[in-house]
């Protein structure tokens, strides 16, 4: 890709990008893995090559992706800190005086875990869908990245840093 030219953002397909507005996607391909056994000592060596695909990405998509992570973490902290006084009130019988404290504790834990599990799933999707753009994690759908993935490459700078296949 000619990095001196302007392109439309690959993610939103709307906003123009400058020559430096690139999402760098590191890829690695393992050429050879070998294990040697010297007595009680086992050593493994890996030969690999790396490359990088640069995807045009506008500031709006970049900021949305960054803010989504911050918003999700903040929501988890708000839920965590908000549940503490509520849990104490329930356990003391101040909030629901007729509720057994053991059952109250189980309910509070269930609600807390439900909120903690739902926030990371719902918030990022909402943040991108209401803006009409895909998250940067869809980078594996970019044609250049997809072609390399189909050829046995993995996203990551080196073996052991690979992203989970999506």
At 48-66, the pLDDT tens digits run 999 999 999 988 888 877 7
User: Across the chain, what does the average pLDDT equal?
Assistant: 78
Is the pLDDT at 1 greater than 60? The verdict is no
Whether 28 contacts 53, CB under 8 Å: no
pTM across the whole model = 0.58
Interatomic CA distance for residues 112 and 17, integer angstroms: 41
Give the dihedral sign, CA 138/27/157/4.
negative
Q: What is the mean pLDDT of residues 145-160?
A: 90
Cβ-proximal residues to 149 (8 Å cutoff; 6+ apart), any chain: 27, 140, 155
Partner residues linked to 52 by β-bridges: 26
Predicted local distance difference test score (pLDDT) of residue 147: 95
Residue at token pair 């594996």: 140
At 21-33, the pLDDT tens digits run 898 999 999 888 8
Structure tokens at 6: 């302007």
Q: What single DSSP character describes residue 15?
A: S
- Domain range summary for the chain, segments of one domain joined by +: 7-57+137-155, 60-129
Query: Who has greater pLDDT, 148 or 93?
Result: 148
Whether 69 contacts 51, CB under 8 Å: no
CA angle centred on 121, ends 110 and 126, rounded to 5°: 125
Q: In what order do the strands lie in the sheet with 22-38?
A: 41-56, 22-38, 154-155
Rounded to the nearest 5°, which phi and psi values hold at 91? -65, -35
At 110-139, the pLDDT tens digits run 877 777 777 666 665 555 555 666 667 788
Interatomic CA distance for residues 105 and 86, integer angstroms: 11
Is the pLDDT at 77 greater than 50? The verdict is yes
Strand residues in the chain grouped as ranges (E): 7-8, 16-17, 22-38, 41-56, 154-155
């Amino acid at each position: 890709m000619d990095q001196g030219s302007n392109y439309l953002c690959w993610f939103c397909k709307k906003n123009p990008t400058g020559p430096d507005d690139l999402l760098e996607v590191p890829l690695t391909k393992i050429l050879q893995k070998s294990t040697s056994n010297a007595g009680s000592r086992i050593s493994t060596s890996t030969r690999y090559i790396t490359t990088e695909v640069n995807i045009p990405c506008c500031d709006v998509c970049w900021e949305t992706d960054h803010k989504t992570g911050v918003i999700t973490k903040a929501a988890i902290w708000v839920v965590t800190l908000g549940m503490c006084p509520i849990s104490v009130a329930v356990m003391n019988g101040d909030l629901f005086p007729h509720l057994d404290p053991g059952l109250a504790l189980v309910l509070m834990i269930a609600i807390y875990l439900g909120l903690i599990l739902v926030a990371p799933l719902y918030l990022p999707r909402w943040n991108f869908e209401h803006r009409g753009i895909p998250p940067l994690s869809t980078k594996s759908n970019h044609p250049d990245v997809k072609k390399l993935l189909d050829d046995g490459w993995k996203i990551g700078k080196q073996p052991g840093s690979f992203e989970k296949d999506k």
